[in-house]
Amino acid sequence: MKYLLIALLLTTPIYAKTGKQLYKKCISCHGNKGQGRGTFPKLAGQHARYLVKQLKDIKSKKRKVPQMNSVVKKLTKEDMKSLAKYLQSLKGCK
Ligand code: HEC
* Atom in ligand 1 nearest the alpha carbon of residue 67: 1
Q: What is the pLDDT of residue 17?
A: 59
pLDDT, one tens digit per residue, over 23-63 is 999 999 999 999 999 999 999 999 999 999 999 999 999 99
Which residue has the CA at smallest separation from atom 23 of ligand 1? 54
- Domain spans in the chain, listed from the N-terminal domain onward: 2-89
Ligand 1 atom 21, closest CA = 41
Rg of the chain on CA atoms, in Å = 14
pLDDT band at 10 (very low <50, low <70, confident <90, very high): low
At residue 74, does pLDDT exceed 80? yes
Show the ligand 1 pocket: residues with CB < 6 angstroms: 25-26, 28-30, 39-41, 43, 51, 54-55, 65, 67-68, 71, 83
- Tell me the pLDDT band of 11, cut-offs 50, 70 and 90: low
Better-predicted residue by pLDDT, 1 or 61: 61
Residue 90 clears pLDDT 70, i.e. is over it: yes
Paired residues of 37 in beta bridges: 40
- If 0-12 CB within 10 Å is exposed, 13-18 middle and 19+ buried, where does residue 51 land? buried
The reply to whether CATH 1.10.760.10 applies to domain 2-89 is yes
Distance (angstroms) between ligand 1 centre and the Cα of 39 equals 10
